[in-house]
A and B are shown apart, each in its own frame.
Chain A
């Protein structure tokens, strides 16, 4: 947590104009992520159509499950002749990480009342990464909601287009879009990784993930990497003398 960023993002600190500029920038980034996800949504719709799913099922998945990796995996399993049980298993393994994100992001939902259960539906990779890129809870919530809603809308419009035109579109290549998302996440993690704690967590997460990719079924390496890195940090931080200091600054910030 860099002090200049936290004070710049403090809702009570700068003039209202500065907040508006930041807001607009956040919403712009959220729209850009949504648009890219929309293109991926077209690809999902086409895949669903070629796997024999009716349009209503493809859209029900995109609106109701709203977790891209799970949807792609489940439909791919069915398309390659796999069983329903196998499709469900891989879908749930990949969906589990949203639950872990929610543990952290739900701290932003305090003022939302019952609507937190609607906000919970928006907990996905993109909205979590955008929320995590800001220190001020208010800007984090703006980033979370703007990105979550933008991705929800574009993902579903994309799915509808892909599933409807499906067989007419032929093979949709993703135009390197698969690389755009990890690059976007690097962009959003940049500030967080620039702290000693952040660096440690990042390195341990990458190493644990690389070690578990060959050993575990898809979906689990992200969980073992992320949760393992946090556990390793918590176990070593207890003995570190700087822990108390970081604790107090964190208490003030929140």
Chain B
């Protein structure tokens, strides 16, 4: 990896975080915006869950991950501890892959 590429990724990645922090700090709780902004992580993480569970590159490709996330998600819904949720999801996925 060339030096310019390495440092462009490092600086670029931090720049996004810093920009979000700079703009986010200006939003005061009273503003109409603030409630929409509070729902933002929920939407982003639901989108992320979808991608991590179903996407392979640019195609939707249900595989062993879906089984693991389904079992982990069911446990999460029944308020199991996050550690058990992760262990169950990983175990089921690796077992399905072994089959």
Chain A interface (Cβ within 8 Å of chain B)?
28-29, 32-33, 36, 51, 53, 57, 60-61, 64-67, 70-71, 74-75, 78, 84, 87-88, 91-92, 95-107, 109-110, 116-117, 119-121, 123, 125, 128-129, 131-132, 173, 175-190, 192-193, 197-198, 201-202, 204-206, 208-210, 213-218, 221-230, 233-234, 237, 246-247, 250-251, 254
A-side contacts of B25, CB under 8 Å: 106-107, 109-110, 116
Q: How far is the CB of B47 from chain A (nearest CB, A)?
A: 3
A-B contacts, 5 listed (Cβ < 8 Å): A32-B83, A84-B1, A102-B20, A176-B65, A182-B48
Interface residues in B24-40 (C-beta closer than 8 Å to A): 24-25, 27, 29-30, 32, 34-40
Number of A-B contacts (CB under 8 A): 325
Asked if A176 and B43 sit within 8 Å, CB to CB, the answer is no
In the A-B complex, the 3 residue pairs with the closest CB atoms = A102-B20, A183-B72, A225-B47
Chain B interface (Cβ within 8 Å of chain A)?
1-2, 4-6, 8-10, 12-14, 16-25, 27, 29-30, 32, 34-55, 57-60, 64-65, 68-69, 71-73, 75-77, 79-83, 85-95, 97
